[in-house]
Structure 1
Amino acid sequence: MTFDELLATYEPKLAAAFRESIEAIKSSVVLRTVTEALDRGDVAAAIRAIQIEPEAFTALELALQEVFNAGGVSAVQSLPQLVAQDGTRVIFQFGVRNLMAETMLRTISSSMVANIVEDQREGLRIAFEAGLARGQNPTRTALDVVGRLSRITGRREGGLIGLTAPQIELIEKYRDRLLMGDVDGMKAYLELKTRDRRFDRTVAKAIREGKPVPADMVDKIVARLSDRNLLLRGKTIALEETRTALSSVRDVAIRQQIEAGKIQAQDVTKHWLHSGSEHPRMQHVEMAARYKAEGVPLDQPFIAGDGTLLMYPHAPEVPARHKIGCKCRLEYRINYIAAGLRRYRARAA
């Protein structure tokens, strides 16, 4: 499978695994425990009651492992055939149990989950404090955060669990604007791409009359806004983590072949390829122009215009400004001619 085919296959699986994890967290919430904590004004206890723990994202980690393994197998299968000195064909293989592979997978997986958990806890703090600041009773504040049970599905819908802190801040801002009847704020709501357009008439009527949107309608509007932002969150995580896993495992796969003595590091070069996206990072365009032809040695980083060192696109240590939304790729080239000349000279000597 090509990189694009792998991305198309596994990105939806990671997004589904993220949603599965969030649904499991929602379904395990004991509303009374959260409400009692808020009644005491203990926001930290309310957050703990929701149990946003690393273990809750096991399904996501397992999906990432599947991506990693498939990417490694694909990487070695794409390498050109090589014949050894004795005339036998060299078989390139990838092992997910290899120490190097296990270490990289653990690094990516633990970083992904740690970032999700940390951001979740911060987002919940913002949401609970916003509800209490509005003077809402603890039950309503808790329901706004964990979601309300649907009579049809029996599941909690809406709520803010699973969203990023910035997403929660945005939703809380528009909840306030709708409840207050803020005309400019309601007009801004109608520009949101993640809104449910079925409520546009209700909001437009409130704007014309200069009145707040009824609280029960605000609950419905915000629930749909939350659900759509959660879908967006899942897709974003899946896309970024799938790219990170696939880019990282390709590097690991090449190094496994070197470790096994099948190729030599001195014969491998990396070449930065730009995606040609509609809104490119100019530094990445410049790197593609600089490194596409000659490339750099395997253990040498690419140097971005701002001085950032990048071993490859989406490497775990790459800062967000060079990572989020990046669609760049690497091409690994193996100089078989140089390797053959060395073998020839060795035999001649």
Structure 2
Amino acid sequence: MTPAQIIQAIEGMEPAMQRAYLEQVKTVVGAATVAEVERLIADEDEDGLVALLSLGALSVFLELARSVFIAGARFEVKAISIPRDLGRFEFDARQPAAEQWVSAKAEEIRANATIDVRAAVREVMGRRRRAVVWPAAQQVQVSATPMVRTPRQSALDLLGRVSAQTGSRSGGVIGLPGNYAQYVLNARAQLLGGNPDEMRKYLQRKRRDRRFDGIVNRAIKAGTPVAQADVDKIAGRYADRLMKTYAEMLSKAEALESFGAGRDQVYEQLIAQGLDRDSVTKTWRDRGDKKVRHTHSVMGGQEVQKDQPFQSPAGALLRYPGDTSLGAGWSERANCRCSAIYKIRRK
């Protein structure tokens, strides 16, 4: 078993998780009515909006995460040589420790999704209270009245707008984490504000759809804001691209952790069957290319006992790549392609 084989196995399961997440977001925003969201925004009812737009059980996504956990365990069982004196071994996903890990992970994912929804709601509601004031040089060309997002516009910012091609909503910020929702709303403000310097900043956004750059460049040249209808299309496409990016990152992180947890649980069950706990070690392996984050490159080759965590130079502790149980954050998890290689020392 090599690090490349481990990551290849994980990557094969990520696309289904990505689709499940995006489909759940689509279901939630499709079920919400603009009128109800608009009313809650007008009432400034943050809790009501969070309850209405919660991503819910995420049942398909979480079932896939469980499947990845089991796949990781099965992968490890096939990859290692189990000492003969332990007798026959078969991984049991119904063991309390295994079920507890899966259950705790499900609750964590749901809780984080709710935090993200609340952050997106707060961003949209906060923007509605702020006025976009046109630059002094443009006061002759546009209304001097500050431009405020109406409850309906804010509702559409949250949910997205119905596509004439698909008949479904897209371009909303529900399903994005707070910082990504902020990116979308900042992009919208840059385009609507009419400030050439701010519009040029929009043109530096990596995830933008470059097919709309001509519209933005013409507005910059004319010294006018981008038309509202065009902003809706441009910001909506930008939001969709960020949504796809986030779904990919989330699926990679959760699949990596679930697969690693399943592999780790194999040794817990072997130990329960008689394997000496002190005989199991693990070594951190990175992919050895330019994409590896600096902290994980430094960790490459770090060997510890099974029950000891790996330690990042940044101070984070991880039982295996992607692990969150000891507090490692997104900076140590996002797009990680590292792996832990376990070894049973022979007597």
Matched-pair contact (CA < 8 Å) for 1:43–1:129? no
Q: CA deviation at 1:184?
A: 1.4
Find the counterpart in structure 1 of residue 67 from structure 2.
66
Over 3 Å counting, the alpha-carbon distance change for 1:8 and 1:286 in structure 2 is closer
1:327 aligns to 2:337 (yes or no): yes
Find the counterpart in structure 1 of residue 253 from structure 2.
240
Aligned length: 326
Over 3 Å counting, the alpha-carbon distance change for 1:282 and 1:132 in structure 2 is closer
Find the counterpart in structure 1 of residue 52 from structure 2.
49
Over 3 Å counting, the alpha-carbon distance change for 1:298 and 1:191 in structure 2 is same
CA distance in structure 1 between the aligned counterparts of 2:76 and 2:9, rounded to whole angstroms: 11
Over 3 Å counting, the alpha-carbon distance change for 1:309 and 1:154 in structure 2 is closer
Q: CA deviation at 1:204?
A: 0.9
Find the counterpart in structure 1 of residue 167 from structure 2.
154
Q: With structure 1 as the length reference, what TM-score do the two structures score?
A: 0.87
Find the counterpart in structure 2 of residue 266 from structure 1.
278
CA distance in structure 1 between the aligned counterparts of 2:315 and 2:236, rounded to whole angstroms: 44
Q: Hey, which bits of structure 1, 4+ residues long, moved more than 6 A?
A: none
Please list the CA deviations of residues 102-153 of structure 1 after superposition, one character each: whole Å capped at 9, or x if unmatched.
Answer: 1111222211221121122111121122134342221122112111122332
CA distance in structure 2 between the aligned counterparts of 1:162 and 1:283, rounded to whole angstroms: 29
1:30 aligns to 2:22 (yes or no): no
Q: With structure 2 as the length reference, what TM-score do the two structures score?
A: 0.87
Find the counterpart in structure 2 of residue 341 from structure 1.
none
Matched-pair contact (CA < 8 Å) for 1:132–1:138? no
Over 3 Å counting, the alpha-carbon distance change for 1:230 and 1:245 in structure 2 is same
Q: CA deviation at 1:40?
A: 3.0
Matched-pair contact (CA < 8 Å) for 2:20–2:61? yes
Report which structure shows greater RCO (CA 8 Å, sep ≥6): 2
Over 3 Å counting, the alpha-carbon distance change for 1:279 and 1:144 in structure 2 is same
Q: CA deviation at 1:181?
A: 1.3
Please list the CA deviations of residues 260-287 of structure 1 after superposition, one character each: whole Å capped at 9, or x if unmatched.
Answer: 22x3212211112122241544443333
Alignment of 1:187-202 (within 5 A): 187-202=200-215
Correspondent of 1:253 among 260, 266, 270: 266
1:175 aligns to 2:218 (yes or no): no
CA distance in structure 1 between the aligned counterparts of 2:254 and 2:120, rounded to whole angstroms: 21
CA distance in structure 1 between the aligned counterparts of 2:318 and 2:85, rounded to whole angstroms: 33
The residue type equivalent to 2:209 in the other structure is D
DSSP-derived class of the 2:212 partner: helix
* Rg larger in structure: 1
Correspondent of 2:313 among 281, 284, 305: 305
Q: CA deviation at 1:218?
A: 0.4
Alignment of 1:52-201 (within 5 A): 52-55=54-57, 57-80=58-81, 82-84=83-85, 90-134=87-131, 135-201=148-214
Gaps of 5+ in 1: 339-349
DSSP-derived class of the 1:84 partner: helix
Q: CA deviation at 1:205?
A: 0.7
Matched-pair contact (CA < 8 Å) for 1:194–1:229? yes
CA distance in structure 2 between the aligned counterparts of 1:46 and 1:114, rounded to whole angstroms: 16
1:287 aligns to 2:299 (yes or no): yes
Find the counterpart in structure 1 of residue 8 from structure 2.
5
DSSP-derived class of the 2:13 partner: helix
CA distance in structure 1 between the aligned counterparts of 2:286 and 2:50, rounded to whole angstroms: 42
Larger mean CA deviation between 11-20 and 39-48 belongs to 39-48
CA distance in structure 1 between the aligned counterparts of 2:315 and 2:52, rounded to whole angstroms: 44
Q: CA deviation at 1:234?
A: 0.4
Matched-pair contact (CA < 8 Å) for 1:268–1:333? yes
Gaps of 5+ in 2: 132-147
Matched-pair contact (CA < 8 Å) for 1:76–1:254? no
Percent of aligned pairs with the same residue? 29
CA distance in structure 2 between the aligned counterparts of 1:214 and 1:305, rounded to whole angstroms: 48
Larger mean CA deviation between 164-173 and 322-331 belongs to 322-331
Q: CA deviation at 1:66?
A: 1.1
1:227 aligns to 2:240 (yes or no): yes
Correspondent of 1:17 among 15, 20, 24: 20
Find the counterpart in structure 1 of residue 137 from structure 2.
none
Find the counterpart in structure 2 of residue 314 from structure 1.
322
Larger mean CA deviation between 313-322 and 137-146 belongs to 313-322
